[in-house]
A and B are shown apart, each in its own frame.
Chain A
Amino acid sequence: MKAAAFHYMQPKTVDEALGCLEQLGSDATILAGGQSLMASLNMRLSNPAVLIDINAIDELNGISTVEGRLRIGAMTRQAELEYSPLVSQHAPLITMVMPHIAHPAIRNRGTIGGSIAFADPAAELPACLVALNGQVVAQGPNGERRIAATEFFQDLFETALTDNELLTAIEIPMANENQRFGFRELARRHGDYAMVGLCASSDWSSDNLTELRLAYFNVGPRPVLAEQTASDICRIWPQVRNEMPLDQLESELDPPDDLNASSTMRVHLAKVLTRRIIEEWLS
């Protein structure tokens, strides 16, 4: 199918884009990489009056380091993250996650900002940002603000962004040598949305495991940080191999049933993934 008719705008700067948003409000939809939006337009499931294409805004591209943080411009393509030496050095979890996001052709067009702003509960990058304790940088008519990933994802496809704001970058604290990262997901076929996935980060120095962040995806309307389970694991570290304390996951996760897996099966799989990541760290 083809999309229904819409108006099209192509601002060249962030200020121009903000002007468009201010003028149009909720009638407009931002077009980033288009890997989710174009499909829903062509299926006629969404019919925005105006598309604001931000692909021509050069200032939204690029990866850099700023004061202990890795800054990734919103329009940086996923494929670029996948092969970036800066990313693998300062945010190795993103490098681990990348090959699992859909397929190469999609990653060539898909952007990090698009994936974060869209906030699909089954997507890898939102959970990755939560696990890394990252921040979203948004620009609006009153200037720039930073939103912690844990606050940013609010509900099913709902974020803290307002109608007149543009997501301009993602910032992640740079990794240090004590940190451990892990990523696992289970999908029926490679490239499908996972039935359950887990992005994990922690600090492991002098026999103590601290700052463990377990961010699960596709187990609820948004990425879920299992804080109780994380603190249970840290408390008995490193004696976790035989008896991993994962029972709290049953109350911390409340995944929906769907065609691929029941809720109970998803919780079970979440435990399996957690165990695999922890065992990988211990080995």
Chain B
Amino acid sequence: MELSGEIKLEATPDEIWHVLNDPVALQRCIPGCTALEKRDTNTFLATIQTKIGPVNTQFSTVLTVIPVAPPTHYSLTGEGQSGISGFAKGTVNIELKANAAGTLLGYTSQVLIGGKVAQVGSRLLTAAAKKWVRQFFDSLEAVFNEN
């Protein structure tokens, strides 16, 4: 499935770029991320806990950050495995545009979920993915509002 949207942030593209590459800030933004460690320059290992209604799943995820064109184009790819429950793969492309009030962040994402979770919960997948993406950007917004 594909999800896209736009949010306004009161920060410069450089500041946002910095947060998106900072493991501590990234962990705060990823919903349910209980651990995140840097493996090398562009990859992180993350443990992500998701709870959608009765379904409680823990994914071990490899996150790859691709700096397409710093500091305005950024791509984040994740591939997670959760034993018998299934797998999730996703890519988020982020474009940062500076404007008078700060930065307009536009995103498009493709999410693919398979295995038992998808089989049983197919009717809820889009709603769940939307919620997850919304939480990610809400947290990102909160990071800047605090500063």
Contacts and interface: CB of A to CB of B under 8 A. Distances in A.
Interface of A: 36-37, 40, 43-47, 118-122, 155-157, 193, 220-221, 256-260
Contact of A193 (B54, B55, B123, B131): B123
B145 interface: no
Contact of B127 (A47, A121, A259): A121
Given A156-B131, A220-B127, A37 B122 contact: no
Task: Tell me if B's interface is mostly helix, strand, loop or mixed.
Answer: helix
A220 B130 CA distance: 10
B1 A257 contact: yes
B58 to A, nearest CB: 10
Contacts of B57: 45
A40 B122 contact: no
A37 B54 contact: yes
B126 A258 contact: yes
Given A45-B116, A257-B1, A40 B126 contact: no
A43 B116 contact: yes
Nearest to B128: A156
Contacts of B56: 45-47
B117 A45 contact: yes
Contact of A45 (B85, B122, B127): B85
Nearest to A221: B127
A156 B54 contact: no
Interface range on chain B: under 10, 10 to 19, 20 to 34, or 35 or more?
20 to 34
Residue in A45, A118, A120, A121 whose Cβ sees the most chain B Cβ within 10 Å: A45
B127 A118 contact: no
B25 interface: no
Given A43-B120, A44-B84, A156-B131, A257 B54 contact: no
Contacts of B121: 45
B52 interface: yes
A260 B123 contact: yes
B33 interface: no
Contacts of A257: 1, 126
5 contacts: A40-B54, A44-B85, A156-B124, A193-B123, A221-B130
Given A37-B54, A47-B56, A155 B131 contact: yes
A274 to B, nearest CB: 22
A45 B1 contact: no
Given A43-B120, A46-B55, A120-B53, 9 more contacts: A45-B54, A121-B127, A122-B123, A156-B52, A157-B53, A221-B127, A256-B126, A258-B126, A259-B123
Shortest Cβ-Cβ A-B pairs, 5 listed: A157-B53, A256-B126, A40-B54, A46-B54, A45-B55
